[in-house]
Amino acid sequence: MALITDYLVQGCQMLLILLLAPLLTGWVRVIKARLLRRRGPPLLQPYRDLYKLLGKEVVLAESASWLFRVAPYLIFAAIWVATSLVPTFATGLAFNWTADLIAIVALLGSARFFLALAGLDVGTSFGGIGSSREMMIASLAEPAILMMVFTLSLLAGTTELSAVARFMLTAEVGLRVSLGLALLALMMVAIAENARVPVDNPATHLELTMVHEAMVLEYSGRHLALIELAASLKLLLYLSLLICIFAPWGMATAGAGLVAYLFGVAVYLAKLAFGGFLLALFETSIAKMRVFRVDEFLGAALMLGLLGALLLFVSRGL
Amino acid sequence: MTLPLLLILPMLLLAAGVYAVIIARSPACSRQMYGVALAVSTVALMAALAYLFSGQAPETLRLPIGLPWLGAHFRLDPLAAFFLIVVNLGSAVASLFALGYGQHEKAPERVLPFYPAFLAGMNLVLLADDAFSFLFAWEFMSLSSWALVMAHHQDPANVRAGYLYLVMACFGTLALLLAFGLLAGPDGGYNFDAIRTGRITPELAALVLILALIGAGSKAGLVPLHVWLPLAHPAAPSHVSALMSGVMTKVAVYGFIRIIFDLLGEPVAWWWGGIVLALGGITAVLGVLYALMQHDLKRLLAYHTVENIGIIFIGLGLALAFQGNQMYASAALALTAALFHVLNHSLFKSLLFLGTGAVLTATGERDMEQLGGLIHPMPYTALAFLMGAAAISALPPLNGFVSEWLTFQAILISPELPQWLLKFLAPAVGALLALSAALAAACFVKAFGITFLGRPRSPVAAQARETDRYSLTAMFILAGLCLLAGILPGLVVDGLGPVVGQINGGAQLTAQHSQPWLTLVPIVDVKSTYNGLLVLLFMAISGSIAALLIHRLASNRVRRGPAWDCGFPDASPATQYTAGSFAQPIRRVFGSVVFQARERVTMPPPGDLRPAKLEVRMRDPIWELGYAPIAAAVVAISTRFNYLQYLTIRRYLSLVFGALVLLLLGMALWR
């Protein structure tokens, strides 16, 4: 019986994140528009976009290969699986142990690998520019996030997210400099990885500074829908990661009753809304930077992560 | 009695090599020779597998050949058996590939006699149980592979590569010779058993470590001894490149492990681990950065070998650090990670080199800037190469990720080490490892994307044809093994158990096959777990559900049209991204520091019809700071003493006399 409940909760989480991801994207867009004193699109616009895209035919470039058609499914699958392994409203999900934080980061790396290849597949200059910059950004973002994993592992003694969340709920954590640095590093990486301002601009097209949008320029119809959904999921993943590690309060534990789960979901939604609000606030208050300033931005994230880990070596109390 | 069989097999190969000298020019020879190599390697592979998994005691054998007072000692133990598996798996697949690929060889008489000899040499190194046989087999392996590097000697670049290889190989063997001399001590017990029981002082042991690092490191490609590798590996025919890069470097790793972990025995100082760890980290990052700057597909792969050797040595360094502190359980994890990566690298690097060989057959070109769009004419080669590329980029659920994940887990337990230097070094090396993994992914997006995707950049790329069935079978065997090792890592870790136990004082990881769902649990399950099988299953299920639902419920219509490209698609393939432009951001971020990369744009003024020019200058710091001065010094000294070549007999005699007097005087004073 307990096993069935576990699987059920895991299944709920998979569906919940899939349904929630476009809402989060819409929410951030609405807040951004309001902060700019625009009315902005309706909250549910991303769902309508997806619905419309799914019904359209795919216009495939003549030089596109089978990889171009398979890649959206691979990217979507990798990101969906990665997101479902991050504890959102409850810890100790049935399949949490399938992949620890390092493996989740690597799964995102798989998705990025295929997206970058898809960008190169048609053989246009825009696709190439996007792929090449995306890989440059990733080459700094991935070590930065792994340094954060290092810090966490030193403190919590584990790289498994459920266990990390449980550890963070205990009283012995307290306020620590190293955790602050890790938080900062993870936020910077999250901004870069999700192609947000100041690293990239999700709302722009036809601009030489774009990265993510340049890679997916040739996609249309259902393929584009999958990639858009995957991008929304990735944003949700990073916010959930921040919540799970640095603000795990209110999470239900494994085997808790239905009420606890519902409470967990409510708290999670509130935290997501707040996180989305902060993201929108940050994005509207900062200007997009030049591409070759991104390495300084992410280099800083890497150094912060490394500093956080080194501080813990000096003293476990920091 | 596996050992006699494993000794007879290399002899068969040698006989085949001699036979090949006689019939090399006949057209059927290539098939026969590779067929024999395939059969022999397969038998050896099976024998080694059977030995390792049956858990028998080590077998030894003494043959009355070689030095009269020493004889030739051979021994089969789990460590040798594991590396025999790696070597013979690689050889079998490369031979299968060559059944097709070898048909295109223009000078078979320069390849066929040496190929089986090369395989035999590698096998004998692993079985040798005394210093003389070891060094003899080692040199045999070096020289036969040198002959293969020189197979296409009309190209001056290959001659230079061969020369550099020969110099570095001799230098490495010299270091190993001295290391064995120190190990054997003044009594000269060159038998490995005698060396194991003998004890040497810590200072001498440290010297042995340095010499082993130089000797084995120069063969494996440890920075800064890697310079020959990216020149020599690409110069050989592709199946030999696969063996040199994927397998021979592993024999070098074996040499290092055998000397340091087995022969030297216990007196391990903790700082040894620090040295090896730092060298490994630097090697990993520099290797991948060099690789990113290459446009030649084979050279790119060869530089990646340098990176992967770095990752292996990170694992070995951690193991030494743990052993130096008597933390054998942690050392077992680090060693398992390193050995797992040895196996993985031999699989995907061989696969990638074979794929490059297929591209080379189809187009005659290995410069990426001339390729492109090969996924259309060569879909199967592209798929196999893609799997290799994903595996080497450490993407789950393939095998490269598992060994890097294990290495990370080993780094994550390093805070338990008591020494401060190691405590600071370990996270820094962790950052280097993460950096090299991320850069490797960038590099293989470039390698695969520029070569196989996009539009053809030259007529040869447009007219390419899919390669033959032998080659495809060989590549897909390796691709399948990459996937299998990725989703069933627990079985590989269990197979490595006795090997790790042998060189780690009996400590090994707990058995993994009894874990639920075949999950990989290196330490305890609250710390970290990974299950490649489930990751693959989940991805397959969610991907197929998405595809099924969308095709059923939404649209499945497709229309082909010209590329969009923001409304300005250009028909010329020159408007695509090239290998150089793909690497440009990374060259600017990392290369400006490491290689002092400088870009100069010459833009003619308006009205001037000359084309604009972008020049990129890069310097190789290791060559310019390390090798060029040495070479210059050697040339300067030899020029200065050149006149000694033209003396009269009288002067030569007086020189000899003077030298004799000086020597006797020196001895008299020293006594």
pLDDT digits (tens, 9 = 90+) for B605-641: 998 888 889 888 888 889 999 899 999 999 999 999 9
Whether A120 contacts chain B with CB within 8 A: yes
Nearest CB to B434: which of A98, A117, A146?
A146
Tell me the C-alpha distance between B485 and B493, whole Å: 10
Taking only the tens place, the pLDDT of each residue in B219-237 is: 999 988 999 999 999 999 9
Nearest residue on chain A to B560, judged by CA atoms?
A60
Q: Look over chain B and give the mean of its residue pLDDT values, rounded to a whole number.
A: 91
What number is the average pLDDT over the span B532-548? 93
pLDDT band, very low/low/confident/very high, at B332 (cuts 50, 70, 90): very high
- Residue spans of the domains in chain B: they are 290-296+308-345+361-545, 588-619, 621-670
B-chain residues within 8 Å CB-CB of A55? 554-555
How close B157 gets to chain A, by Cα (Å)? 31
Closest CA to B355 of B248, B478, B457: B478
Instruction: Quote the pTM value.
Output: 0.95
Test A98 with B442 for CB contact under 8 angstroms.
Answer: no
pLDDT band, very low/low/confident/very high, at B568 (cuts 50, 70, 90): confident
Please report the DSSP string for chain A in residue order.
Answer: -HHHHHHHHHHHHHHHHHHHHHHHHHHHHHHHHHHTT---S-TTHHHHHHHHHHHSPEEEETT--HHHHHHHHHHHHHHHHHHHTS-SSBSS-TTGGGB-HHHHHHHHHHHHHHHHHHHHHS--HHHHHHHHHHHHHHHHHHHHHHHHHHHHHHHHS---HHHHHHHHHSTT----HHHHHHHHHHHHHHHHHTT-TTT--TT--S-TT-SHHHHTTT--HHHHHHHHHHHHHHHHHHHHHHHHHH--TTPBPTT--HHHHHHHHHHHHHHHHHHHHHHHHHHHTSPPPPGGGHHHHHHHHHHHHHHHHHHHHH-TT-
Q: For chains A and B, count residue pairs whose Cβ atoms are closer than 8 Å.
A: 273
Tell me the C-alpha distance between B555 and B534, whole Å: 30
CB B257 within 8 A of CB B323: no
Tell me the C-alpha distance between B466 and B476, whole Å: 14
Angle at B210 between CA B208 and CA B214, to 5 degrees: 110
How close B450 gets to chain A, by Cα (Å)? 7
Q: Give yes or no for residue B507 having a pLDDT over 80.
A: yes
Test B530 with A100 for CB contact under 8 angstroms.
Answer: yes
User: Phi and psi of B598, rounded to 5°?
Assistant: -125, 135
A-chain residues within 8 Å CB-CB of B566? 126, 205-206, 217
How close A252 gets to chain B, by Cα (Å)? 19
What is the complex's ipTM, to 2 decimals?
A: 0.95
How close A158 gets to chain B, by Cα (Å)? 4
CB B340 within 8 A of CB B391: no
User: Phi and psi of B265, rounded to 5°?
Assistant: 70, -140
Q: What is the pLDDT of residue A208?
A: 62
What number is the average pLDDT over the span B532-550? 93
Tell me the C-alpha distance between A205 and A217, whole Å: 9
Q: What is the pLDDT of residue A141?
A: 94
pLDDT band, very low/low/confident/very high, at B267 (cuts 50, 70, 90): low
Q: Give yes or no for residue B131 having a pLDDT over 70.
A: yes
A-chain residues within 8 Å CB-CB of B399? none
Percent of chain B scoring above 90 in pLDDT: 68
Distances (CA, A) of B526 to A33, A164, B3: 44, 10, 43
pLDDT band, very low/low/confident/very high, at B511 (cuts 50, 70, 90): confident
Find which of A49, A124, A228 to mutate to test the B interface (most B CBs within 10 Å of its CB): A124
Q: What is the pLDDT of residue B178?
A: 94
Residue A39: both structure tokens together: 């009315």
Tell me the C-alpha distance between B228 and B232, whole Å: 6
The one-letter amino acid at B98: A
Burial class (CB in 10 A: 0-12, 13-18, 19+), B610: exposed
CB B145 within 8 A of CB B118: yes
Residue A173: both structure tokens together: 């954590």
Q: What is the pLDDT of residue B21?
A: 87
| The residue to which tokens 């020149």 are assigned | B231
Test B526 with A125 for CB contact under 8 angstroms.
Answer: no
Tell me the C-alpha distance between B223 and B231, whole Å: 14
What number is the average pLDDT over the span B586-599? 88
Nearest residue on chain A to B395, judged by CA atoms?
A110
What number is the average pLDDT over the span B428-446? 94
Tell me the C-alpha distance between B406 and B343, whole Å: 14
**Which residue pairs from B480-485 have beta carbons closer than 8 angstroms and sit at least 24 positions apart in sequence?**
B481/B89, B481/B347, B481/B399, B482/B344, B482/B347, B482/B348, B482/B351, B482/B387, B482/B388, B482/B391, B482/B398, B482/B399, B482/B400, B483/B387, B483/B397, B483/B398, B483/B399, B483/B536, B484/B399, B485/B343, B485/B344, B485/B347, B485/B399, B485/B402
Residue A296: both structure tokens together: 């300084």
Test B454 with A81 for CB contact under 8 angstroms.
Answer: no
Q: What is the pLDDT of residue A233?
A: 96
Find which of B589, B590, B593 to mutate to test the A interface (most A CBs within 10 Å of its CB): B589
Test A81 with B538 for CB contact under 8 angstroms.
Answer: yes
Tell me the C-alpha distance between A297 and A318, whole Å: 25
| The residue to which tokens 């609405």 are assigned | A30
Q: Mapping DSSP to helix (H, G, I), strand (E, B) and coil, where does residue B554 land?
A: coil
Nearest CB to A138: which of B373, B423, B438?
B438
Distances (CA, A) of A269 to A29, A33, A39, A150, B313: 17, 21, 23, 28, 46
CB B15 within 8 A of CB B72: no
Residue B64: both structure tokens together: 């009355």
Find which of B439, B445, B517, B552 to mutate to test the A interface (most A CBs within 10 Å of its CB): B445
Greater pLDDT, B13 or B189: B13
Whether A221 contacts chain B with CB within 8 A: yes
How close B587 gets to chain A, by Cα (Å)? 9
Nearest residue on chain A to B586, judged by CA atoms?
A136
How close A293 gets to chain B, by Cα (Å)? 10
The one-letter amino acid at B1: M
Cβ under 8 Å to B: A residues 72-91: 73-74, 76-78, 80-81, 84
Tell me the C-alpha distance between A86 and B417, whole Å: 31
Q: What is the pLDDT of residue A205?
A: 66
Greater pLDDT, A44 or B421: A44
Centre a 10 Å sphere on the Cβ of residue A155 and count the other Cβ atoms it contains.
Answer: 21
CB A58 within 8 A of CB A304: no
pLDDT in tens, chain A (318 residues): 677 888 888 888 899 999 999 999 999 999 999 999 999 899 999 999 999 999 999 999 999 999 999 999 999 999 999 999 999 888 877 787 888 899 999 999 999 999 999 999 998 888 999 999 999 999 999 999 999 998 898 888 888 888 888 888 887 777 888 899 999 999 999 999 998 888 888 777 656 667 888 899 899 999 999 999 999 999 999 999 999 999 988 888 877 788 888 999 999 999 999 999 999 999 999 988 888 888 899 999 999 999 988 888 777 777
Test A106 with B525 for CB contact under 8 angstroms.
Answer: no
Distances (CA, A) of A136 to A311, B24, B76, B283, B586: 28, 49, 47, 20, 6
Nearest CB to B563: which of A122, A132, A163?
A122
